[in-house]
Structure 1
């Protein structure tokens, strides 16, 4: 059985991974209720995260990649830390700027 800390780490372990970067060629408008990100943040998400986390944050690689309620499981600082440093199956997202990471974390922390 996983501890809460391991489960949280695993849940976001693939947060915003580069497991299929589409190079930003995805749709410019996602009209689902979960994808209410500000324009720039949505573009970062589509370019770097959609292939693992899905176009509706539903997760495409198992339940641990579902981000629809990630804000109920993790704080903004925890999300920032996970994106920056990775963990378990998620590599660090060192190609994202601090501003991009902050935007993603702010938006995702509101998902509860």
Structure 2
């Protein structure tokens, strides 16, 4: 009679332990909720970007005209640019320029990263 509760406990322990560890035996990584803003998601996830790298590239290439805090100097204020333009539209502006801004100041992955970062500014 005492074997039944011990067997049930052992089976429950095995199921519990297998659900708490991933295939490598490590604790599972916490995943951000799907509705969390991309700026708070780790890079590499769908729609995500590297905010630190985007901000650094922006400060190195764009801040002289748009300001360190996106407040606008010679160029327009970008603090809420994501409410006006999509990521794809911002990529096009970075590639082709707009108004007095020349195109191609940032290229490749930097341009994509900055565009995603700016698209979240709403």
TM-score by length of 2: 0.56
1:40-79 alignment to 2 at 5 Å? 40-61=53-74, 65-79=76-90
Taking the aligned partners of 1:96 and 1:75, their CA distance within structure 2 comes to 17
Bigger relative contact order, structure 1 or 2 (CA pairs below 8 A, ≥6 apart): 1
Q: Give unpaired runs (5+ residues) of structure 2.
A: 1-39, 41-49
1:16-57 Cα offsets, whole Å, 9 max, x none, are xxxxxxxxxxxxxxxxxxxx9722111111111111111110
SS of 2:121's partner is coil
Partner in structure 1 of residue 91 of structure 2: 80
The correspondence for 1:97, drawn from 86, 107, 111, is 107
| Residues 3-42 of structure 1 aligned to structure 2 (within 5 Å) | 38-42=51-55
Runs of 4+ in 1 over 4 A off after TM superposition: none
Unaligned runs of 5+ in 1: 1-35
**Number of matched residues?**
74
Structure 2 contact 61–106 (Cα < 8 Å) conserved: no
* Conservation of the 8 A alpha-carbon contact between 2:95 and 2:107: no
